[in-house]
Structure 1
Amino acid sequence: MEICNLSSSKSILIQQTATLLFDSFKEHWATAWTNLDSALQEVHESLAPDRISRIAVDDNGTVLGWIGGISQYNGNVWELHPLVVHSEFRHRGIGRALVLDLEDKVRERGGITLWVGTDDEDNMTSLSGVNLYPKVWEHIINIKNLRNHPYEFYQKLGFTIVGVMPDANGLGKPDIYMAKSLRN
């Protein structure tokens, strides 16, 4: 496996990446990318100069995973958006490798914090399906992973829950905010 930049000159890889994004999210997060065109638009937007777009490819040039980074706060903070790994290749270290690679690229651009929002639209954690007000932090402290939500993946990589936006995706469907310091 190799991790490399996704660029506008790689139209076959752009198409594979958009297909991967759409196929991976259509079952669980139907509101994210509702069709292949919207996924393709997301991939094209990731190619802007102020963004990072990296793919993991196998020896045959097939896209196994994709990660993006969006500069914020004058480059001090970067949003990890999105991260996707082909379903047949999950739990093999590809997601971890992509995140660690993105961290290096963000550091090279002077970034000091990386953050990610991990929606819970499907009752995957104890934060979903409940009214988080007024004791939001109490709910965060007592969070439980009920159905393999990715927040624990990010915790293993050093991310910390720094907040939650209750009802971000509708009543009882929060967005969990996580961040990691990239200072050495």
Structure 2
Amino acid sequence: MQIIDLQPDMEEAIAQTATLLIEGFRQHWKTAWTDLDSALTEVRESFGEDRISRIAVDQSGKVLGWIGGIEQYDGKVWELHPLVVDAAHQGQGIGRSLVTDLAERARERGGLTLWVGTDDEDDMTTLAGVNLYPNVLDHIARIQNLKGHPYEFYQKCGFVIMGVVPDANGLGKPDILMAKSLVRGGSRSRS
């Protein structure tokens, strides 16, 4: 496997990436990319100057995973958006490698922080389906993963929960906000 830039002229890889995006988000994020047009639009938007777009490919050029980064705060902060790995290749370190690669690319561009929003639209954590107000921080401190929510994957990649947007996706459907430093010690990937 190697990680390379996804380029605007790589039509076959773009098509594979869009299909991967639809399939990867179908199960838990039903409102994400539901058709090829919306997925292709998302992939093509990743080619902007303020973006990073990287794919993991096997020796034959098949796309195994995709990660995107969006510059914010004049390049000091980068949003990880999105990350998807082919279901048949999950659990093999591809996602972690893509996150590590994106962090390095963002750091090279002057990034200090990398953040990601991890929606909980399907009651996958104890933050979903409840009123988080007025003690939002108490709920975050007691979070539990009920159904394989990706926040634990991001924790293994060095991210910490920095907050939550209650009801971001409807009543009881929060967005869990996570971040990691790209330059300070203590937030490197853990094994």
Question: Do they fold alike, i.e. is TM over 0.5?
Answer: yes
Matched, 1:6 2:2: no
Partner of 2:153: helix, strand, or coil? helix
Mapped partners of 1:34, 1:153: distance in 2? 24
Partner of 2:114: helix, strand, or coil? strand
TM-score by length of 1: 0.99
Which has the higher mean CA deviation after the structures are superposed, 54-63 or 25-34?
Answer: 25-34
TM-score by length of 2: 0.95
* Aligned residue number for residue 122 of structure 2: 122
- Matched AA of 2:11: S
Q: Please list the CA deviations of residues 12-52 of structure 1 after superposition, one character each: whole Å capped at 9, or x if unmatched.
A: 00000000001111222111112111000000000111100
Mapped partners of 2:48, 2:7: distance in 1? 9
Unpaired stretches in structure 1, ≥5 consecutive residues? none
Mapped partners of 2:136, 2:32: distance in 1? 25
Matched, 1:58 2:82: no
Mapped partners of 2:152, 2:26: distance in 1? 22
Supply the RMSD in Å over aligned alpha carbons. 0.7
* Aligned residue number for residue 67 of structure 1: 67
For residues 165-180 of structure 1, what are the structure 2 equivalents within 5 Å? 165-180=165-180
* Aligned residue number for residue 89 of structure 2: 89
Mapped partners of 1:169, 1:59: distance in 2? 39
* Aligned residue number for residue 188 of structure 2: none
CA deviation after TM superposition for structure 1 residue 71, in Å: 0.1
* Aligned residue number for residue 100 of structure 1: 100
Partner of 2:68: helix, strand, or coil? strand
Which has the higher mean CA deviation after the structures are superposed, 117-126 or 27-36?
Answer: 27-36
Mapped partners of 1:143, 1:92: distance in 2? 26
Mapped partners of 2:31, 2:6: distance in 1? 25
Mapped partners of 1:20, 1:39: distance in 2? 9
* Aligned residue number for residue 34 of structure 2: 34
Mapped partners of 2:81, 2:118: distance in 1? 10
- Matched AA of 1:119: D
Q: Please list the CA deviations of residues 100-145 of structure 1 after superposition, one character each: whole Å capped at 9, or x if unmatched.
A: 0000000100000000000000100000000000000000000000
Mapped partners of 1:137, 1:27: distance in 2? 29
Partner of 1:24: helix, strand, or coil? helix
Mapped partners of 1:171, 1:50: distance in 2? 33
- Matched AA of 1:122: D
Identity of aligned residues (%): 67
Large movers: runs of 4+ above 6 Å = none
CA deviation after TM superposition for structure 1 residue 92, in Å: 0.3
Question: Number of matched residues?
Answer: 184
Q: Please list the CA deviations of residues 2-21 of structure 1 after superposition, one character each: whole Å capped at 9, or x if unmatched.
A: 10000001010000000000
Mapped partners of 2:24, 2:54: distance in 1? 17
Mapped partners of 1:169, 1:36: distance in 2? 23
- Matched AA of 2:83: L
